[in-house]
Amino acid sequence: MKTRIFVLATGGTIASELTPSGLAPALTPEDLVSYLPEISEYVEITTESLYSIDSTNMTPEHWMGICKRIEANYDAYDGFVIAHGTDTMAYTAAALSYMIQNSPKPIVLTGAQKPIGMEITDAKANLRDSIIYAADSKSRGVQVVFDGKVIAGTRAKKIRTTSFAAFDSINFPFLASIYDGKIIRYTEMQHDGDEVSFNYDLKSKVFLMKVVPGVTPELLPVIFMIYDGIIIESFGAGGIPESIEKQLFDEMKKYDPLKKVVVMQTQVSFEGSNINVYEVGKKLSSNFDVLEAKDMTTEAVYTKLMWVLSQNNESWEELRDRFYKPIGCDMLF
């Protein structure tokens, strides 16, 4: 019996064609799979077109739609492949890692830097590798498959705008490589034995504030008024510039930390944060209940905070423990 794979299309460059206004999604998932006629020899593929959008327009509502279609078809298939635009693929992969937990079946996101119909393209190889990986019985959980690399969904980040090697795994090794149709595994996603769970209630009121030299505090009261989760992406190991320190501290004094959750995140991609190294960060952690992103990616922090805020957190300690609990290889220390 052939392995059954469900291919869900959402648009993106992989499915785009050149129009007078530029590249735009146009191809169906059937069109995409038709470029790989040999794959049907050992895999049974079912396709569905869910969206046909540029991934720049991807929203949490779209993530919920993807999650619902996977749950509706979960028992009928052995693996899932989501064709997705590259620009927000890391956000979607991270979001699905929290929305679909403990999956013994693989949920693979892939895309391309060049449309599949072009003579020179990475689309065929990426789609083929994704189907091969999703069809393997050792694959599980949410991953990105791109340029012959398998990346945990919580660790993927787009680091190049045009090169075929568009994605890297941040602060975590590649799970596997795929070469000439063969999977070479380096490490595996752990499965704790619990049943798969699907979560839809994400709290979208999360704001990512990037600190720059000379940043001014005027917007902080508005940010705290509107958003329930505030991620401050600071410099180096992590710290608060003097230019916003007083206003930030004043705002944090106004609110229950369970209702306005502040997370410190470094702008540096690799090696993570440690806000207690320097005075500018230790002063914050010594006076307030704050979370620290540590070695997590920005995409994982953003989507995990949305998930954490949606849970029934009865105390700060419960919220903190939920945030720091590793999920899908998202946190090492």
Distance, CA of 229 to CA of 203 (rounded, Å): 9
Instruction: Please state the rounded mean pLDDT for residues 9-30.
Output: 82
The pLDDT of 241-265, averaged and rounded, is 92
Cβ–Cβ under 8 Å, residues 90 and 83? no
The answer to whether domain 3-198 and domain 206-324 are alike in fold is: yes
Give the pLDDT confidence score for residue 240 in this predicted structure.
85
- Residue 13 annotated in active site: yes
Residue 238, pLDDT > 90, answer: no
- Out of 10, 13, 86, 110, pick the active-site residue: 13
Residue spans per domain, the chain? 3-198, 206-324
In eight-state DSSP terms, residue 122 is S
Fold of 206-324: Rossmann fold (3.40.50)
Judge contact between 66 and 8, C-beta under 8 A.
yes
Q: What is the mean pLDDT of the chain?
A: 92
DSSP output for 147-178: TTEEEETTTEEE--SSSS--EEESSS--SEEE
Within 10 angstroms of residue 121's Cβ, the number of other Cβ atoms is 18
Phi-psi region of 102 (alpha: psi -120 to 50; beta: other; left: phi over 0): left
Q: How confident is the model at residue 192 (pLDDT cuts 50, 70, 90)?
A: low
Domain covering 3-198 in this structure, CATH number: 3.40.50.1170
Mean local confidence (pLDDT), 78-98: 97
Bridge-based pairing of strands 141-146 and 149-152 is: antiparallel
Please enumerate in sequence order all residues whose Cβ is within 8 A of that of 28, keeping only pairs 6 or more positions apart, or say none: 9, 15, 47, 49
Written as one string, the DSSP assignment of 294-318 is TT--HHHHHHHHHHHHHS---SHHH
- Residues 147-165: b if buried by 16+ CB within 10 A, e if exposed: bbbbbbbbbbbbeeeeebe
* Residue 149 pLDDT > 90: yes
- For residue 280, what pLDDT is reported? 61
Provide the percentage of residues in the chain whose pLDDT is more than 90: 75
Mean pLDDT of 210-216: 92
Flag whether pLDDT at 332 surpasses 70: yes
Give exposure, 168-185, as e/b (b: 16+ Cβ within 10 Å).
Answer: bbbbbebbbebeeeebee
Per-residue pLDDT, 4: 97
Q: What one-character DSSP code corresponds to residue 180?
A: T
**What DSSP state is assigned to residue 139?**
-
pLDDT above 80: residue 118 = yes
Find the distance separating the first CA and the last CA of the chain, reported in whole Å: 43
Q: What is the pLDDT of residue 201?
A: 85
Please answer whether residues 106 and 153 qualify as being in contact, where contact means their C-beta atoms are separated by less than 8 angstroms.
no
Q: What is the CA radius of gyration of the chain?
A: 21
